Amino acid sequence: MEELNLMKQAVQALMDGMPLALRDPHRPAWHLAPSVGLLNDPNGFIQHKGVYHLFYQWNPLGCDHRNKCWGHWQSTDLLNWQHQPVALVPGACYDSHGCYSGSAVVADGKIMLAYTGNVKYPDGSRTAYQCLALENELGGYDKLGPVLPLPEGYSGHVRDPKVWRHQDSWYMVLGARDLQDRGKVLLLRSTDLRSWQLLGEIAGTQLNGMGDFGYMWECPDLFTLAGTEVLICCPQGLAAQAERYLNVYQAGYLTGKLDYRQASFEHGEFHELDAGFEFYAPQTTLAEDGRRLLVGWMGVPEQDETCHPTLQYGWIHTMTCPRELSLHNGKLYQQPARELQRLRGEGSQWQGIADNAPGWPVDSAEVLLTPNGPFSADFGDAMTLSWDGALLRLTRNNLCTGQPEHRYWRGEVTHLQMLFDSSSVEIFINHGEGVMSSRYFPGPQPLLRLNGETQLALEHWPLTPCMLE
């Protein structure tokens, strides 16, 4: 009954709220955003029979982190997406306070969802169940209930199952917070997706030489790329440093070798995945053509969420563009999925001294920039990017305080690929060696303006809107 009531309210919220949301001048032209309400983590990203499915954390009833459902889009080309029936709605005894994040696999020819059921008690305590839901013939998902209660020795913060197949078994990584407030990633195994054995902790605070490294590790994702295991995770509780860990919570990765039998993961240092203002909870999938694709949430929990200008239009947050991953000398590279090139309109080229460059429209555009020295760029009078020869700095005014704030990427800059939308920019540095993803909110008809005495070359394409039906 609770689920039915929430669904009725969601339908009412959509009918009432969509006309206002669609009038927002900052509504994206080609990024995925919620019809109304709040969007956060991508969930269940998978390709099955040529169709991409992207589920997502969604509160249809408001722009806060309550009433967490799983919305569902599907696409055949990563560009044009169709709404599908809402996949998961909280209300059962094991997910009464939210259907939290998780993943998808194909089992017996059907998509199976693994998610966290969040339960809170009147005394303020909480617990979590790892649950399954199975695709039905109508395109919806039937809950199968919990398959894993809270493991002994951990707080109620155990969530975000990422499941995959390796040899003859299913494996799962879980984000966790132990009873000593130490963030961990747990590894589990199953032969049938129903009965799970906890193999051990493979990463986290006080493990593998990490030292103190946060009180909770969220949204783990483990996969093999170029013969190396990559663990993506989101540690909470890292102290800010001069040029990194500057968001409230971080998203990054470790590379190494996983021993499935010993449940041990020898890995190197933690690296941030994205150096911009908004990036969190990324999830990957293995496409049928062999590419490892990633989508992230262009937002951060508890970071200026009450000050986004889209709130007055009844919605908040977007996804990043889909990205292709590759590994070079132990470093994870991200590049825009090649499909996005099909959005390009008629291209233009220019080269010369930065100070002499004309203004370029960037309300929805792709810009390639090849600098030969220090320069700066202004994005619609709402954000600036500058490189002094050693440090790349992205600057905007804080959404709440109005004071300037910065994010940094250190290194040589030889190539920039910048993807602009109505309220976001994603900057790919040196063909994916670094990325800076951020929301920004320029006025109408924003222009890219360049400054500096350096010589540079520029290519520009307008990007056509995608369909979200």
List, by residue number, the catalytic residues: 41
* Residue at token pair 């309300």: 363
216-225/228-236 β-pairing: antiparallel
How many CB atoms are located within 10 Å of the residue 76 CB? 12
Cα 51 off chain centre by: 20
- In sequence order, the β-bridge partners of residue 349 are 459
Give the total residue count for the chain.
Answer: 469
Instruction: Give the Cα-Cα-Cα angle 324, 327, 331 (nearest 5 degrees).
Output: 115
CA–CA dist 451, 455 (Å, integer): 10
